[in-house]
Structure 1
Amino acid sequence: MNVKNTVTLSDRYLRHAERMVEDGQFPSVEKVIEAGIDSLMQADDQAGADHDPLAGVADEIRRRMQTPRDQWIPMDRDNLFDSVRARLDEKYKSK
């Protein structure tokens, strides 16, 4: 549902919005303002996601994806856990 509202913009912001419309980036000044509000809403959503307990999981997955391929554990369905255990044993023996 659209609600009509009146917004007062400074000359600077209005000129910039009108220039974006003239350049064909947006069909109207209204859409420029909506895009700005959308950007603020996404930033709020992202800030909320930082407090999300699963956000750490996503960070860990990204971190692990940076692991060089030569350090990956090959997928051997029959011996996968044996390989993981062997790697962990090696890691903890050296400490």
Structure 2
Amino acid sequence: MKHPPLNQEEQDWLDSYERDEWVSINNAETRKKYQAIAQSTLHAERQVKISLSERDWTLIQEKAMREGLSYQAFMRSVLHKYITGRLTEHPGT
């Protein structure tokens, strides 16, 4: 399967990796968290296509990056937490 060309952000991540700027995770709790995220990514059962405003898309990418996740994993995590009741709206929002 041929992959689409990388966008600038993806190319920056790849370049960073190739410059050996990444370090292994030594913290067992953090490692377990990311293993669970990776595992859930492997078991995706349905694909959903949605349209987002440019502003929302940018915010999602920024938040995902701060969390150390791909935007897909971040969005999947947010949706899962919301539908399972672990993520709720703040009063007044």
TM-score (norm: length of structure 1): 0.37
TM-score (norm: length of structure 2): 0.37
**Whose helix fraction is larger, Structure 1's or Structure 2's?**
1
